């Protein structure tokens, strides 16, 4: 997979947009980052729910791993694009976008 394919799949998520975060591309939905590309555009990162991350990583996809430390425990998942399966990445990006939207929606709810 090329960075351009990752970018296209990220931007195919309804309501998504591309921006920049710490000098590299990010993809947002409802104001929340759900995916990024590193500066070299060789690694993509998606933010999954920890449960979904566990499920997808147990399927043993080449080039995919949890990010280091607390980021990984929070669901951030690194994808080496040269080894990535397009269908897997599309599914991961769709989940990441849904997760970002749900988090944004929960944040806007008034506290009772």
The predicted model scores a pTM of: 0.87
Strand partners, 25: 20
Task: Copy the structure tokens of residue 103.
Answer: 């988090």
Q: 35-89 pLDDT, tens per residue?
A: 999 999 999 999 999 999 998 888 877 889 999 999 999 999 999 999 998 998 9
Domains and CATH numbers, the chain: 3-108 (3.90.1150.30)
Q: List residues bridging with 26 in a β-sheet.
A: 19, 36
Confidence at residue 111, expressed as pLDDT on a 0 to 100 scale: 57
Instruction: Give tens-digit pLDDT for 10-21.
Output: 999 999 999 998
């Amino acid at each position: 997979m090329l960075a351009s394919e990752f970018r296209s799949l990220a931007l195919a998520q309804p309501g998504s947009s591309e921006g920049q975060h710490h000098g590299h591309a990010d993809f947002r939905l409802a104001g929340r980052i759900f995916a990024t590309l590193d500066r070299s555009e060789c690694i993509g990162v998606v933010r999954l729910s920890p449960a979904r991350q566990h499920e997808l990583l147990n399927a043993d996809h080449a080039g995919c791993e949890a990010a280091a430390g607390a980021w990984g425990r929070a669901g951030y998942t690194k994808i080496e694009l040269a080894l990535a399966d397009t269908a897997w990445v599309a599914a991961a990006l769709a989940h990441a976008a849904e997760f970002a939207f749900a988090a944004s929606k929960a944040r806007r709810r008034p506290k009772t």
